[in-house]
Structure formats: structure tokens, C-alpha cells
């Protein structure tokens, strides 16, 4: 990967909409599928120029939210604006200036890398004279120059994902939506994608990334919004979220199952926020515990602690 491959453009210069207006704004958005309410009164504002992480467990409504931003899913209630355009009416206009990297691989398996990128350069209205350079730039971005004439069927999983990302960046969008960008990838490919995303932010591109990987959000996002059951339940920088919801320290108590059960009981008696964490019980805000605190290992609180405290859900 070549992070910062889109260099040559000063961060955010001339690429932002009206000064100070958010890149994405959702207000009171609801979306129901039959009896299921996927998005339940969502309010979300993504400022221009930041990397914004939408963190939530599976089924929290992240993908539905992403699809609503391209008007591929229509909200039942509420208002959505993307890059200053009102959705769904002006969605096509906003899609001109944004790139989308879907969670599911939807590449044309029968086409070559170059063909796919060329088709999307056309769809994104890259002028004919610039198309060739745009395709080359995207191939370089995805480290696929030697594979330009290879059909997708013959690419590895990591290469396909990189091509998927490059396809969404072919027109140098000022807003990029990444839906679970590294799900199912091996650690090395994940690292490559992370540096690519970081490079985008450095170029002033607004990034909205949904993920259920805590580490991904912690490493990349300037702001994280925690989504659960179709709405945002907390928002802030990763450090703010940790401080507000898990405190400074976590006490991890190890022991046989009976011991862990005892500690769990003690915690609920004392009103401590705690959770089972693998072979241990983790007690939040360990810095506030008095003499009753059991023996254990103290470690700094992290985003995972905050996430579990917020959603009540364990995460892989």
C-alpha cells in the first residue's frame, strides 16, 4: 500500500463544502424492516475532514446506516444530508463526490483490475483525458500495477479488498464510506488498509468507517460513535469514551470459576461496573475502589472496556 498516495493536494484545500458544515448529518432517522427496527431515532453528525468511526456490535444498524447514505436504503422518518445535499432527492449529486467501499465484495469477477477501475472511472464521470491516469493512480494505490490485466477471479482475498478500496477512490472523493473495511482479512492486509485509511485522513478526506473491531476504531478514528440497537449511545474521542465509561484503570481478577463468581457477586453488591473477560472478571474504574477491592492485576482502561460497559456486549 502507498498511504498518502493521493498526495499533492493540501489537506482539505478547496475540497470542503460550505465552511463549517458537516460532511454528513442525520437527524431523527428511523428505518424499519417489517417488525425489525434497524435504525431507531439516529442522530449523527460527521464533521468534514475527520476520520469518524461508527462502532457497534453486529446488528446494531451500521450497515443500514451506510446504505442510507447512498440512498440505497430509504429512511422511513428523519432527514439525511450528505456533503450539503439533501437525501434522497439530491443523492446522485452527493454520490459524485463520495466513494463507497462495501462490506461485501461486489467486484465483477470476470473483468480485469484495469477494466473494473475504468468502468468506475466512467461511472464517477472522470473526464476521458484523465481516466487513464486515474486508473493508474488507483492501481498504484492498491499495489496492483503488476496485476492490472488479471481477472478478479484470480486475485487473492487481500488483493480483491484492495481493489475494492481503490475502486471507491478512483475519482478522488472528498468523502469515503468504509463499511467494515477489514472484516475477515489477515493481520498483514489489515495493517496495509489501516495505513491507507490513515493516508486518506492526512489528505483531508472525510472518512466514515463502520467497524466492530475495537482496535480499528481506536487506532484510526478521531471520533468514535458507539451504535447499539439502531442509535448512537455515546460519542467522543476514543480517550474520552474510555475515561467516561471505563475510568482510568481496570482491575482484572483471575481465578477458578467459583472465585470469579464470588468476585462478580461482590461487584454487583458494591455497584461496581464489571464484566467477564475471558478467564478473568474485569472491574472498571479500579482507581475508585476502596479497601474491598480483591487481589488482581491493574491495567489502563481501554476502548473495549468502555464499549462493553456501554453496550453490554462482549466483542470478538
Q: Is 102 exposed, middle or buried (0-12, 13-18, 19+ CB in 10 A)?
A: buried
Of 71, 75, 234, 267, which lies in the binding site for other proteins, with binding defined by CB under 8 A?
A: 71
Q: Are 205 and 9 in contact (CB under 8 A)?
A: no
Does position 76 interact with other proteins (CB under 8 A)? The reply is no
Cell of 73: 436504503
* Residue number with CB closer to other proteins (87 or 159): 87
Measured distance CA(93)–CA(117) in Å, rounded:
21
Among 124, 213, 272, 307, binds other proteins (CB under 8 A): 124
Q: Which stretch binds other proteins (CB under 8 A): 68-76, 225-233, 260-268, 284-292?
A: 68-76
Q: Which is nearer to other proteins, 196 or 242 (CB)?
A: 196
103 vs 249, which CB is nearer to other proteins? 103
Nearer to other proteins, 70 or 235 (CB): 70
The verdict on 84 binding other proteins (CB under 8 A) reads: yes
* Shortest reach from residue 253's CB to other proteins, in Å: 47
Decide whether 109 or 244 has the Cβ nearer to other proteins.
109
C-alpha cell read off for 94: 452527493
Task: Please answer whether residues 141 and 5 qualify as being in contact, where contact means their C-beta atoms are separated by less than 8 angstroms.
Answer: yes
Site string for other proteins, 160-189 (x = CB under 8 A): -------x---xxx----------------
Side-by-side strand order, sheet with 36-46: 36-46, 24-33, 77-82, 85-87
- The residue among 173 and 230 lying less far from other proteins, judged by its C-beta, is 173
Identify each DSSP E strand in the chain by its residue range: 24-33, 36-46, 51-55, 77-82, 85-87, 98-101, 175-179, 206-211, 223-228, 231-236, 249-254, 274-277, 280-283, 297-300
Q: Which of 133, 244, 261, 297 binds other proteins (CB under 8 A)?
A: 133
Q: Which of 34, 89, 106, 290 binds other proteins (CB under 8 A)?
A: 106
Position among 37, 40, 72, 273 found at the interface with other proteins (CB under 8 A): 72
Nearest to 48 by CA among 78, 84, 72: 84
Cβ 173 to other proteins shortest distance, Å? 8
Query: Which of 43, 45, 86, 140 is the binder for other proteins (CB under 8 A)?
Result: 140
**Residue closer to other proteins (CB basis): 71 or 226:** 71
Alpha helices in 124-186 (DSSP H): 128-141, 157-169
Give the pairing of strands 77-82 and 231-236.
unpaired
What is the distance, to the nearest Å, from the Cα of residue 104 to the centroid of all Cα atoms in its chain?
14
What is d(CA 277, CA 266) in angstroms, rounded to the nearest whole number? 16
- 144 touching other proteins, by CB under 8 A: no
What is the four-CA torsion angle of 110, 113, 118, 120, rounded to 10 degrees? 80
How far, in Å, CA of 141 to CA of 32, rounded? Answer: 38
| CB contact at 8 A, 114 and 150 | no
Shortest distance, position 17 Cβ to other proteins, whole Å: 6
Site membership for other proteins, residue 93 (CB under 8 A): yes
Kindly list the distances between the CA atom of residue 242 and the CA atoms of 75, 252, 308, in Å, as whole numbers in the listed order: 32, 16, 11
Supply 312's cell numbers.
Answer: 453490554
Q: Is 201 in the site for other proteins (CB under 8 A)?
A: no
Total number of residues that touch other proteins (CB under 8 A): 55
Residues that bind other proteins (CB under 8 A): 2, 4-9, 14-15, 17-18, 33, 70-74, 83-85, 92-93, 95-97, 100, 102, 104, 106-111, 115, 118-120, 122-127, 130, 133-134, 136-137, 140-141, 167, 171-173
Amino acid at each position: 500500500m502507498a498511504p498518502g498516495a493521493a498526495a499533492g493536494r493540501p489537506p482539505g484545500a478547496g475540497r470542503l463544502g460550505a465552511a463549517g458544515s458537516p460532511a454528513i448529518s442525520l437527524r431523527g432517522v428511523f428505518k424499519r424492516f417489517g417488525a425489525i427496527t434497524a435504525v431507531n431515532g439516529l442522530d449523527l453528525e460527521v464533521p468534514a475532514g475527520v476520520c469518524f468511526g461508527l462502532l457497534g456490535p453486529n446488528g446494531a444498524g451500521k450497515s443500514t446506516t451506510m446504505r442510507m447514505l447512498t440512498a440505497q436504503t430509504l429512511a422511513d422518518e428523519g432527514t439525511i444530508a450528505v456533503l450539503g445535499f439533501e437525501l434522497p432527492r439530491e443523492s446522485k449529486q452527493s454520490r459524485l463526490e463520495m466513494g463507497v467501499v462495501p462490506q461485501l465484495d461486489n467486484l465483477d469477477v470476470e473483468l480485469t483490475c484495469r477494466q473494473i477501475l475504468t468502468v468506475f472511472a466512467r461511472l464517477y464521470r472522470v473526464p476521458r483525458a484523465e481516466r487513464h491516469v486515474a486508473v493508474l493512480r488507483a492501481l498504484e494505490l492498491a499495489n496492483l500495477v503488476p496485476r492490472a490485466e488479471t481477472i478478479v477471479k484470480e486475485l487473492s482475498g487481500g488483493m480483491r479488498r484492495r481493489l475494492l478500496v481503490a475502486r471507491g477512490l478512483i475519482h478522488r472523493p472528498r468523502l469515503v464510506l468504509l463499511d467494515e473495511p477489514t472484516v475477515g482479512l489477515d493481520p498483514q492486509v489489515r495493517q496495509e488498509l489501516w495505513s491507507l485509511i490513515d493516508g486518506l485522513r492526512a489528505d483531508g478526506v472525510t472518512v466514515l468507517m463502520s467497524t466492530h473491531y475495537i482496535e480499528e476504531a481506536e487506532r484510526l478514528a478521531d471520533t468514535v460513535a458507539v451504535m447499539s440497537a439502531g442509535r448512537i449511545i455515546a460519542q467522543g474521542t476514543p480517550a474520552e469514551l474510555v475515561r467516561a465509561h471505563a475510568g482510568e484503570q481496570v482491575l482484572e481478577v483471575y481465578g477458578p470459576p467459583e472465585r470469579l463468581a464470588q468476585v462478580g457477586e461482590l461487584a454487583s453488591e458494591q455497584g461496581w461496573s464489571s464484566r467477564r473477560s475471558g478467564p478473568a472478571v474485569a472491574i472498571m474504574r479500579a482507581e475508585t475502589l476502596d479497601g474491598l477491592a480483591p487481589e488482581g492485576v491493574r491495567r489502563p482502561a481501554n476502548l473495549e472496556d468502555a464499549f462493553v460497559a456501554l453496550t453490554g456486549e462482549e466483542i470478538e
